[in-house]
Amino acid sequence: MRTLAIGDIHGCFRALQTLAEFVPFREDDQLIFLGDYVDRGPDSRAVLEWLIERWRQGNVVTLRGNHEIMMLLARDEPLTLRNWLMCGGDAVLSSYGTDGSYGWEQFIPDRHWEFLENQLDAYYETDSHFFVHANAYADVPLDEQPDVMLYWEPFGFPAPHESGKVMICGHTSQHSGLPLNHGHAVCIDTRAVIGGWLTCLDVESGRYWQANQLGQTRQAWLE
């Protein structure tokens, strides 16, 4: 069984479909999605629907990203709606056939809201790796990490974690379009929504596959 981590999708459904076929994803793969499924890209609705169906099949971990947090806040705290729209929420609403006018939240199916509320995890770990959306303090156990680190803190040059495990994260988009590997920490947000690539990393072997919104693919190994 492979452990495969998938970076920030941001509504790039074509890239996701292409990647799933290119790798390809197998039934016995452990798939770990690192968050930021929505905003900016053209089809957040299709991305969420695909994730829900794949999650129901099992062997899938879906982490929470800061963009899912913003989407839920926009529903629950109307004063945050404008900020979410400016951060790419307008593209989400367009994919559901609505805008930010009164009652927009009713255009989003209940199963999508339920997924966003109840099926997203703060982190995940195996014997050798741990997975977060954004970052983690090196000297703090995963179950004590503050939200600002898990969902918002840029990648930068994190120190090795006290657990001795390798951190796999997204959130900080890599302008090179390539994963950033520090050995003890790897960032695989490779700008899928900004003309870059959506990345899937086999965390044990270091092999990775990429696809983009044009349907192009490529693969390599971590340096």
Q: Which CATH number fits domain 3-221: 3.60.21.10, 3.30.420.40, 1.25.40.10, 1.10.1060.10?
A: 3.60.21.10
- Provide the whole-model pTM: 0.97
SS3 53: helix
- Per-residue pLDDT tens over the stretch 66-78: 999 999 999 999 9
Residues 6+ apart with CB under 8 A from 43: 11, 12, 13, 14, 95
- Per-residue pLDDT tens over the stretch 165-174: 999 999 999 9
Q: List % helix, strand, coil for the chain (3-state, nearest 5).
A: 35, 20, 45
